[in-house]
Amino acid sequence: MLNTIARPWLVSGVWFATVAAIIAYSVVVDARWSTTGLLLLVGLTPAIVALLIGAGAPPPTVAEILHSVQAKDGR
């Protein structure tokens, strides 16, 4: 159980640490603020999309799909 709980947290932690390191490096080398903002946006977009997809309803199971087909036929 600890393995299934710890893995997503580990992956997201490494992801955000990498994005933070890229943003910090961008600030250190005096990149323009628009470049830093773009890097932040590009770095966070996959995480936002994953959260939006994960918040949706789960897909139907095979049994639910088969049951809906049988109910339409009236059998």
User: Looking at the 3D structure of the chain, how many domains does it have?
Assistant: 1
Q: What is the pTM of this model?
A: 0.60
Determine the structural domain holding residue 32 and report its residue range: 2-73
**75/58 Cα distance (integer angstroms):** 27
Note the pLDDT of residue 25: 92
pLDDT at 52 over 90: no
Q: What is the pLDDT of residues 3-47, one digit of tens each?
A: 666 777 788 888 889 999 999 999 999 989 999 899 889 988 988
Contact 22, 39 (CB under 8 A): yes
Note the pLDDT of residue 32: 92
Angstrom CA distances, 53 to 9, 22, 57, 75, stand at 17, 25, 9, 35
